[in-house]
Amino acid sequence: MPVRVVPLTRHHRPLLKGFQNQHASLVEYLQRYALRHAEKDLLARTFLAIDRTEGGERIAGYFTLATASVERRSVSAIEALDRLPQFPIPAVLLARLAVDDRAKGQGLFLFEEALGLTIELARTGPVALRLFVTDAIDGAAVRFYERFGLVRLADGYPCRMVLDLKPLAGG
Amino acid sequence: MARFQAQTNAVIEEELADLRGRLGLRANQRADLLREIASLASWVVRQAEAGRRIEARRGRDVEALRNPTLDRLRERRNAGVVGRIALSDSEVERLAAVLDRGFSPTPALRKALSRLAATKRKPPKLRWRDGAA
């Protein structure tokens, strides 16, 4: 049976502890914070890719979306600023994207889901959005996002990457 | 391992004795020393968890506290669900270049957009490495 993507709710709690990923922080976020951020704090919403196997349902992957505003750290004069929209710039942050290490090959699908939800929101939502932002955790993640046109803003890790939503949202 | 641990313990004991002296505590005030250290460490960790950088300042002289564990705590916070993303000057320059570009989607983005536009989108069928079908 193909995977289905659904918003995380408390009903998924029993499935959370079975999730495995090489990055402990990605597992920890799902198991400790995602539900709280989604239901109690209303900071971010997490979407699960759920696969039904013979042993029952499993979380094959997840992604987390939050709103963010992009601001300047300094107040120094920068020539490029003339060409930028006014700060702060509204954005959607892909805060997490992870797949279970035992069921790879669905990262693309999850990323498309996250991007699709973002574009939909940018096109028809009640607020304006200009950027799709993510923090790539390592070199493999950077290469993955670069394939979709995301551009890295820094050289270290986690590496902040952005995609301009204007042409995608019909602006 | 035992030798390494013995050496490490010796170094720690020496550092604790040095700290005890500098804090004006006597040799039998080990509990007081640990209480002071715990109190200081707790404050430092709390700042890092809040995503703050700790700096010692005197006039223009600034020294940042650097520690890999604290960096991890700060990064965990900063890479988490944040409302504000503050860009450095160099990041602002790169962002300007991104927003200046015309629309020329990569082949992968073009494919993703076309799949997203399809009325019947096919989710992947997974094969689990641990044998679950």
Whole-angstrom Cα distance, residue A98 to residue A110? 9
Q: What is the CATH number of the domain that holds A10?
A: 3.40.630.30
Beta-carbon separation of B124 and A3 below 8 A: yes
Domain assignment present for A71: yes
Residue closest to A63 by CA, chosen among A17, A33, A99, A22:
A99
Query: What pTM value is reported for the model?
Result: 0.72
Please check whether residue A25 lies inside any domain of the structure.
Answer: yes
Give a yes or no: residue A12 inside a domain: yes
Number of domains in chain A: 1
Question: Which residue in A51, A47, A43, A87 sits closest to A67, CA to CA?
Answer: A43
- Asked if residue A170 is part of any domain, the answer here is no
Note down the domain range covering A103.
4-164
Residue A21 lies in a domain: yes
Quote the ipTM score.
0.86
Chain B residue numbers with beta carbons less than 8 Å from the beta carbon of A64 are 81
Alpha-carbon gap, residue B87 to A78, rounded angstroms: 12
Any domain includes A171: no
Averaged pLDDT of chain A: 89
Q: What is the pLDDT of residues A30-63, one digit of tens each?
A: 998 899 889 988 889 999 999 988 878 999 999 9
For each of chain A's 171 residues, which pLDDT tens digit applies? 678 999 999 999 999 999 999 888 789 889 988 998 899 888 899 999 999 888 789 999 999 999 999 988 777 777 767 777 888 899 999 999 999 999 877 888 999 999 999 999 999 999 999 999 998 888 999 999 999 999 999 888 778 999 999 999 875
* Alpha carbon distance A137, B80 (integer Å): 11
Q: Would you call B117 an interface residue with chain A, using a CB distance cutoff of 8 Å?
A: no
Helix B30-49 and helix B68-78: axis angle, to 10°? 40
Q: How far apart are CA B103 and CA B20, in angstroms?
A: 64
Q: Is there a contact between B123 and A109 if contact means CB atoms under 8 Å apart?
A: yes
| DSSP-based three-state secondary structure for B116 | helix
